[in-house]
Amino acid sequence: MKEREQGAEEPPKRVAVTSPRTVAVRRPPGRQTLRALDEQDVVGELLIRSLIRAQLLLGLRLAVVFGSLLGGLPLAFAVVPATRDVTLFGIALPWLVLGLLVYPTLVGGGWLYVRQAERNERDFVELVERS
């Protein structure tokens, strides 16, 4: 303790070690691509079309999946007559499934769509910032 009081050496200061290529990474993000988007030239138009196409394909895929799931339920009940006779809690199984289980499925589909659409938009922003 007395050594510290009498002027002991201070601990060495921290030094940040960086790569010599750090300056190359810090260039302004996507100036040419941003200009192409603003001016709506050929490159900007292609980029916007790619985003729209990705969002459209996502919507179509989810519509087909959830449409076939929800549209297939009445078909399954019509094709397999034994399912029409099953009752749970005094309610027929088709009514229970179509009345209660459809809504959480639709909410889950909406949540999945929003998540995937936001991912598409993040990918688009990263593409613009990289170029």
pLDDT tens digit string along 73-102? Answer: 888 888 888 888 888 888 888 888 888 888
* CB-neighbour burial class of residue 92 (10 A; exposed 0-12, middle 13-18, buried 19+): middle
- pTM to 2 decimal places: 0.62
For the chain, give the number of residues: 131
Q: Which band of pLDDT confidence, cut at 50, 70 and 90, is reported for residue 62? A: very high
